[in-house]
Structure 1
Amino acid sequence: MSEIARRATAKGNQVLFVVHRKEIVDQAMATFQEQNVDMNLAQLGMVQTIARHINEIPEPQVIFIDEGHHSLAKTYQRIIDAFPNAIKLLFTATPQRTGKKQLDLIADDIVLGKSIKWLTEHGNLAPFTYYSIDDIDRSKLKKNSTGDFTSESMERAVKKKIYGDVVENYKELAPNKQAVVYCYSVGNAIKVAQEFNDNGISAVEVDGTTDPAKRDGIIEDFRQGKIKILTNVNLFTEGLDLPNVDCVIMVRPTASLALYLQFSMRCLNPREGKVAIIIDHVANWKEFGLPDQDRDWQAAMKTKSGSKRKNTNQTTDSPLQCDHCYAVFYRSELTENKLCPYCGMEVSKKQIEMAVTKAELVEINESKLRVNRLKKIMHSNVMRNVAGKRPSELRTMEEFQAYAKLHHYKPGWAWYAYRKFTKKGR
């Protein structure tokens, strides 16, 4: 991002960098200066501030939007509409939104970056182990108008014993590690922090109402290791630099793939010898698979009719869960004797069969997609072939149908014309 900005300003172009949090403005400013971006031609600011002062901003030739999956919101649209001639670049690690509207409504195309697996294999992200201890009844979850779960239904769905479980499982699976806990409400976050403190583990709750100066101090204490646990509600999801997080704990269920990946990736900053730990108390993995699964982002950014979103998972190596240690891992990681790669205990046949069924479904869906893509290619070829022909030159039913579609004839024309042609041929 900063390299594109450097090249743009080097050519005398004005650039505008739009973010949605103050902390990210400060980080981006420092990075731009480090990378020799001409700051006389660069404007950086929070989306709300820029939208309010839109008439005072020098017209940019290039607009950068951080966390670009937010770009369909009204404040972003006001900025985008104000500069119709500017090139707009949307940056996001998660190009799928909750709800029906997707990024194809404002973006012409998507340029895919490297996958999480690739980044992990090349040392850009830390490897992780994933554990799921279900303290939730997901059948009680209900969605709101944005497509994610309502606060009321999350309160009903999450089991009360979760507070004790969160601390006990942290002590067993990630003792003494810096952890961020994602909660579903301020009250929930306060209770989780209190449970840690009652067990002698330093924890602080932070939310959107926390005084900014106080919040900055808490974050700095966490970076220095003075605080072990930060509990929050959707605060530490995007952009903020917290390199020393080694563990993520999910207490908040979500229907948002973007939010799930943001939760998971918070602990994946690499460090020599580091293996991050993800503890999922609300079975989010059952909805989305593991964080590093291959996903069809090209399809994810397409707006679909109807309420059901496309499942973007592309892997046929489905995840399964050990009944003994609660680790979640890929089917290919099972030992030859069908043992868990983490605890060495036998994985139940039921778990293996479920993973196989999921893999088969992915293979079936992929097969259908390939057939549909082939049909589209064949159809477009037929359309091109008949474009310059007269009806008397058509030979197959497909050609008659393509000709009718091309010339907006009534649906029955192709059938009658083809029938007439075959009779004439006899």
Structure 2
Amino acid sequence: MAEIARRTTDKRNRVMFLIHRREVLSQAIDSFKNQGVNSELLTAGMVQTLTRRVNTMPTPDVILVDEAHHALAKSYQNILNKFPEAVILLFTATPHRTGRIQLDQIADDIIVGQSIHDLTEKGFLAPFRYFQPPGDFNEKMLKRGSTGDYTNESMQEAMSTKIFGHIVKQYNRIAPGKQAVVYTYSIDSAIKIANEFNAEGISAIEVDGTTSKDRRDIAVKRFKNQEIKILVNVNLFTEGVDLPNVDCVIMARPTASLALYLQFSMRCLNPRKGKTAIIIDHANNFKKFGYPDDDRDWKLAMKSGKQKSQTLLKDPGISIVTCDYCFAVVKASEVKDGKCPMCGKPIKVHEAKPVSDVDLVEASKERQRKIKAAIQDRVMTNVLNKKVGELKSFAELAAYGKLHGYKPGWAYFMAKKKGLVK
């Protein structure tokens, strides 16, 4: 953005920069200055301030909007609509909003940058290890509020009361001594988590929206200087703020927002030679969103309408169920009408319970690959001595075809003939 601004002002054109957080604004202005942007032709400010001055500001030729997934808000639209002749460039790492209304309402097209995986391969982001609870998080307790994300009250109910000490235990087991940022859902929970860390002799400090600017700045400075190990916050350190020495992120809250999930999980991915970041997910957000570096179809995700998770996830991981009768391990998505796709007997998808004090497990892609392979092997074993007429699912037909060397289209043809697919 600073380079685009420099080229704009070099041609004696005016540029405007919009952002919604004070901390990011000061960093941006420094970047623009270092890049040689003509400050006399630059208007840079928080959208909350500039929307009140929109009738007195000089007309920009180019408008740069940072964290542009917020740009559908009235304050942004008040500014953007005031200057219809300006070229508007929207920048965001997460071009998807919670809800049905997406950025296609204000953007003509999307230019997709390099993927997280590619940036990691090239050394611009650190590789990571991801840890999650071994069971499912009880999402039934979660209720959405007006923002589209879960309400504090429902998160309080869903998260076990034992979680606070458990967070410290898992940190000591998985990431001892690492600089960590904890994301939680309420001031009360943040204070409890910080107190638990301090009680164990691990320096921690809590900051939230009610924390004064001076106290917040001191906390961040002490964290950057590694005077404290743990920075516990309530929705503060998500977008733009520079915290270069974070080696571990602890998610102590669930979220329904992909943008928030990526901002939480990627906070620790600043690269350093030899660094492997640690992501500890106590709320099993992984189950909903997959890995931070999964490929996502952003062009489809920016279109308004009812969004399905597959538009955002390439491989969100799989939920598996074991049949109590034939002991087949199957995908939960393959259970139709409450019956096992292998033997046809009733199958139970057991209700998840909140995780309180179990060790988290690493969610590695190799582990997911092995689970898939195990399912495929089990299906192959089940069809070994069966006839075609006895096959009851597309998975069985595909395994049978592979076992007998049939062409891939055979399974689909037979499944259609049996009425298993439309």
Q: Judge conservation of contact 1:178–1:247 (CA < 8 Å) in 2.
A: yes
For 2:304 and 2:295, locate their aligned partners in 1 and report how far apart those are by CA, in whole Å. Answer: 20
The Cα shift of 1:349 comes to 4.8
For residues 353 and 257 of structure 1, what CA distance do their matches in structure 2 show? 34
Give, in whole Å, the separation in 2 of the partners of 1:221 and 1:326: 31
Answer yes or no: is 1:152 the counterpart of 2:187. Answer: no
| 1:191 match | 192
- Cα distance change, pair 116–282 in 1 and its aligned pair in 2 (3 A): same
Partner of 2:331: none
- Which residue number in structure 2 is paired with residue 45 of structure 1? 45
Distance 1:33 1:12 in 2: 16
Task: Return the letter of the residue paired with 1:48.
Answer: Q
Is contact 2:132-2:360 (8 Å) kept?
no
Contact 1:148–1:254 under 8 Å retained in 2 = yes
Within a 5 Å distance, the mapping from 1:223-372 to structure 2 comes to: 223-304=224-305, 306=306, 308-316=307-315, 318=317, 326-331=361-366, 338=370, 349=374
What amino acid sits opposite 1:167 in the alignment?
Answer: V
Which sits farther off after the overlay, 324-333 or 202-211?
Answer: 324-333
| Offset, 1:350 | 7.0
Equivalent residues, number: 342
- Give the letter for the 2:131 counterpart: Y
Contact 1:206–1:231, Cα closer than 8 Å, also in 2: yes
One-letter identity of the residue aligned with 1:329 = S
Measure how far apart 1:263 and its partner are: 0.2
Q: Equivalent residue of 1:147, what SS?
A: coil
Checking the alignment, whether the CA contact within 8 Å between 2:54 and 2:79 is kept in structure 1 is yes
Contact 1:14 1:42 in 2 (8 A): yes
Distance in 1 between the 2:41 and 2:220 partners? 31
SS in 2 for 1:97: coil
User: Does structure 1 conserve the Cα–Cα contact (< 8 Å) formed by 2:294 and 2:315?
Assistant: no
- 1:309-329 deviations in whole A, cap 9, x for unaligned? 4533453584789x9860002
CA deviations over 1:209-229 (Å, ceiling 9, x no partner): 111011111101100000111
Judged with a 3 Å threshold, the aligned counterparts in structure 2 of structure 1 residues 348 and 167 are, in CA distance, closer, same or farther, namely farther
Aligned to 1:168: 169
**Is the contact between residue 130 and residue 281 of structure 2 (CA under 8 Å) also seen in structure 1?**
yes
Q: Which residue of 1 aligns with 2:73?
A: 73
- C-alpha separation between the residues in 2 aligned to 1:244 and 1:226? 12
Q: Would the aligned equivalents of 1:289 and 1:319 in 2 still touch at CA under 8 Å?
A: no
Q: For 1:160 and 1:77, how far apart are their aligned partners in 2?
A: 42
Q: By how many angstroms is 1:56 displaced?
A: 2.2
- Cα shift at 1:136: 4.3
Cα distance in 2 between the residues matched to 1:293 and 1:348 = 20
In the TM superposition, what whole-angstrom CA distance separates every residue of 1:31-89 from its partner, at most 9, and x where no partner exists? 11111111111111111011111122111111111100000111111111111111111
Could you state the TM-score of these two structures normalised by the residue count of structure 1?
0.76
Does the 8 A contact of 1:320 with 1:330 survive in 2?
no
> Distance between the aligned counterparts of 2:359 and 2:20, measured in 1?
42
Alignment correspondent of 2:108 = 108
Secondary structure in structure 2 of the residue aligned to 1:55:
coil
Gaps of 5+ in 2: 321-357, 380-394, 396-422
Tell me the SS of whatever aligns to 1:166.
helix
3-state SS, counterpart of residue 52 of structure 1: coil
CA distance in 2, matches of 1:174, 1:147: 32
Which stretches of structure 1, 4 residues or longer, exceed 3 Å deviation after superposition? 316-321, 331-334, 347-354
Render the CA deviation track for 1:364-383: whole Å, top value 9, x for unaligned. Answer: xxxxxxxxxxxxxxxxxxxx
Shift of the 147–348 alpha-carbon distance from structure 1 to 2, 3 Å rule, reads: same
Contact 1:135/1:159, CA 8 A, preserved across alignment: no
Q: 1:318 to 1:156 in 2, by over 3 A?
A: closer
State the distance in 1 between where 2:317 and 2:99 align: 26
Which whole-Å CA distance do the structure 2 matches of 1:353 and 1:53 have between them? Answer: 66
Does structure 1 retain, via aligned residues, the 8 Å contact 2:269–2:277? yes
| Distance across 1 between alignment mates of 2:376 and 2:215 | 46
Identity of aligned residues (%): 55
Where do 5+ consecutive residues of structure 1 fail to align? 340-346, 355-359, 361-426
Contact 1:61 1:85 in 2 (8 A): yes
- Deviation track 1:160-181 (CA, whole Å, cap 9, x = no partner) reads 1111110000011111111000
CA separation of 1:316 and 1:278: change in aligned 2, threshold 3 A: closer
Partner of 1:10: 10
Shift of 1:282: 0.1
- For residues 313 and 51 of structure 1, do their structure 2 counterparts lie closer, same or farther at Cα, with a shift above 3 Å needed? closer
**Counterpart contact for 1:154–1:253, Cα < 8 Å:** yes
What is the one-letter code of the residue matched to 2:149? D
Q: Does the residue aligned with 1:176 lie in a helix, a strand or coil?
A: coil
Return the index of the structure with the highest Cα Rg.
1
The whole-number CA distance in structure 2 between the counterparts of 1:79 and 1:174 is: 45
Richer in helix (by share): 1
| Matched-pair contact (CA < 8 Å) for 2:289–2:316 | no
Tell me how large the CA RMSD over aligned residues is. 2.5
1:69–1:92 CA contact under 8 A, matched in 2? yes
Q: Tell me the SS of whatever aligns to 1:112.
A: coil
How far the C-alpha of 1:103 sits from its partner, in A, is 0.2
Greater relative CO (CA pairs within 8 A, separation 6+): 2
Per-residue CA deviations over 1:202-243 (Å, capped at 9, x if unaligned) read: 111101111101111110110000011111111000000000
What is the TM-score of this pair, normalised by structure 2? 0.77
- Contact 1:22–1:46 (Cα < 8 Å) also in 2: yes
Q: Distance in 2 between matches of 1:351 and 1:279?
A: 30
Equivalent in the alignment of 2:27: 27
Q: Deviations over 1:293-348 (max 9, x none)?
A: 000000000001x5x54533453584789x986000214775xxx59xxxxxxx99
Equivalent residue letter for 2:98: T
